[in-house]
């Protein structure tokens, strides 16, 4: 019995060229595209073209590899990029938002243009592929990729610069120790001053050295764009610059038990003079009372009969 083995291959209907109206395997069509983009070195002029293509690819890769260093240098040279963590995060977010907005608008306009430009004018119309030269085909593929990668390198360099700012604590920062426990925060200023509300002076950097007593917590002050995990057996830190007077909220953002939602704590930013007054009053209130001096017994009075 004659057995036939059929190979299932998707088919493509040619709409133009010498094969117009013929049904050919998709592999043949793809091979034709690959031969169009990458000519065989054995063909006339093929070797020279391939060398130019490979040189362009390697040159582009080298240029892109230098992108992060150039962008990092540019970001590092901008001393005003991230004066404080909250300003830096806001600026970085605005740059990302601007980038994705521009990209979305450009691609949306391009999609609408192609949708109306190349729409069918009759029910039976068959579309035609655009005719591109080798340079146009490679440029269409590589140029958008290069632009996207350069933009990503730029944002990454700015993010790295901001992270380094966030990890360098200013020398004049007010240090407060933070102890987290289920389900409250304790802020220790030293000299016996401990509160459940974080009070800080306006215009002075504040660094929090944090640890936990029981489980993992995470301290987050949304207004100042800072957050850090707080863990037992470890000391983590964050710092921020309180520039605006007012009362803000801080929360725990790591689930720590049934009372997790009951761990908000106020952050009060007050003028420096008011902070000094507050600190002095709390230090006096918590200072131990001086020990009472032992009473000195008065000498007994002499008997009246012995008086001369």
Residue 214 sits in a domain whose CATH number is 2.60.40.420
In the chain, the N- to C-terminal Cα span, in Å, equals: 157
306: in domain: no
Residue range 110-139: mean pLDDT, rounded: 82
Q: Considering only 5-9, 176-180, 233-237, which range has the smallest mean pLDDT? A: 5-9
224 and 163 share a domain?
no
Statement: residue 7 has pLDDT above 70: no
224 and 240 share a domain?
yes
161 and 224 share a domain?
no
112 and 196 share a domain?
no
pLDDT of residue 106: 86
180: in domain: yes
82 and 162 share a domain?
yes
139 and 70 share a domain?
yes
Residue range 142-152: mean pLDDT, rounded: 84
pLDDT of residue 57: 56
pLDDT of residue 264: 94
**Alpha-carbon separation of residue 291 from 71, 280, 288, 294 (angstroms):** 65, 21, 9, 9
147, 204, 199: which is closest to 174 by C-alpha?
204
> Cβ(85)–Cβ(165) under 8 Å?
yes
Residue 245, CB-side half-sphere exposure with 13 Å CA sphere: 6
Indicate the helix (H) or strand (E) that contains 181.
strand 174-181
pLDDT of residue 308: 44
221: in domain: yes
pLDDT of residue 129: 74
DSSP state of 5: -
Q: Give me the percent of the chain exceeding a pLDDT of 90.
A: 36
78 and 189 share a domain?
no
Q: Which residue has the higher pLDDT, 164 or 270?
A: 270
Statement: residue 306 has pLDDT above 60: no
204, 213, 239: which is closest to 225 by C-alpha?
239
239: in domain: yes
- Write down how long the chain is: 308
pLDDT of residue 122: 83
Statement: residue 6 has pLDDT above 60: no
Which structural domain, as residue segments, surrounds residue 65? Answer: 39-117+134-167
Residue range 78-89: mean pLDDT, rounded: 68
Indicate the helix (H) or strand (E) that contains 252.
strand 246-252
pLDDT of residue 8: 47
- If you search the block for the tokens 């707080």, which residue do you land on? 230
Q: Which residue has the higher pLDDT, 230 or 305?
A: 230
| Helices 134-167 & 85-117 angle (0-180, nearest 10) | 160
103 and 200 share a domain?
no
**pLDDT confidence tier of residue 269, bands split at 50, 70 and 90:** very high
Statement: residue 211 has pLDDT above 80: yes
Query: Which residues 6+ apart lie within 8 Å of 24 measured at CB?
Result: 11, 12, 14
97 and 69 share a domain?
yes
128: in domain: no
**pLDDT confidence tier of residue 48, bands split at 50, 70 and 90:** low
Give the distance between the most distant pair of CA atoms in the chain.
Answer: 157
Statement: residue 44 has pLDDT above 80: no
| Rounded CA separation 225/278 (Å) | 26
Residue range 34-52: mean pLDDT, rounded: 46
Instruction: For residue 187, list its beta bridge partners.
Output: 178, 195
Residue 115: phi, psi to the nearest 5? -60, -40
160 and 269 share a domain?
no
155 and 182 share a domain?
no
Domain count, the chain: 2
Residue range 11-15: mean pLDDT, rounded: 48
- Sign of CA pseudo-dihedral 23, 29, 32, 37: positive
21: in domain: no
Q: Considering only 63-77, 112-126, 146-160, 189-203, which range has the smallest mean pLDDT? A: 63-77
181 and 151 share a domain?
no
Statement: residue 79 has pLDDT above 50: no
Statement: residue 290 has pLDDT above 70: no
**pLDDT confidence tier of residue 64, bands split at 50, 70 and 90:** low
Of 126, 151, 167, which residue sits at a domain end?
A: 167
179: in domain: yes
Q: Give me the percent of the chain exceeding a pLDDT of 70.
A: 66
Please count the other Cβ atoms lying within 10 Å of the Cβ belonging to residue 183.
16
6: in domain: no
| Rounded CA separation 290/208 (Å) | 32
């Amino acid at each position: 019995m004659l057995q036939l083995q059929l190979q299932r291959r998707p088919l493509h209907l040619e709409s133009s060229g010498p094969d117009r109206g013929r049904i050919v395997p998709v592999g043949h069509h793809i091979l034709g595209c690959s031969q169009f983009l990458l000519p065989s070195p054995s063909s006339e002029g093929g070797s020279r073209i391939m060398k130019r293509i490979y040189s362009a690819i390697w040159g582009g890769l080298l240029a892109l590899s230098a992108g992060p260093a150039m962008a990092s240098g540019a970001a590092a040279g901008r001393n005003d990029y991230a004066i404080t963590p909250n300003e830096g995060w806001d600026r970085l977010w605005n740059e990302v938002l601007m980038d994705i907005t521009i990209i979305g608008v450009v691609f949306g306009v391009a999609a609408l243009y192609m949708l109306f430009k190349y729409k069918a004018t009759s029910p039976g119309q068959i579309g035609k592929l655009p005719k591109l030269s080798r340079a146009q085909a490679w440029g269409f593929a590589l140029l958008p990729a290069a632009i996207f990668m350069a933009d990503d390198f730029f944002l990454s360099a700015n993010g790295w610069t901001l992270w380094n700012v966030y990890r360098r604590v200013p020398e004049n920062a007010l240090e407060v120790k933070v102890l987290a426990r289920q389900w409250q925060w304790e802020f220790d200023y030293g000299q016996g001053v401990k509160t459940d509300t974080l009070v800080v002076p306006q215009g002075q950097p504040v660094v929090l050295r944090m640890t936990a007593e029981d489980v993992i917590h995470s301290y987050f002050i949304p207004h100042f764009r800072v957050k850090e995990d707080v863990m037992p057996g470890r000391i983590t830190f964050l710092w921020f610059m309180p520039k605006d007077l007012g009362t803000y909220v801080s929360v725990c953002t790591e689930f720590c038990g049934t009372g997790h939602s009951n761990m908000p704590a106020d952050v009060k930013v007050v003028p420096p003079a008011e902070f000094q007054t507050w600190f002095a009053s709390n230090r006096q209130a918590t200072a131990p009372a001086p020990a009472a001096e032992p009473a000195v017994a008065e000498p007994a009075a002499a008997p009246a009969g012995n008086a001369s």
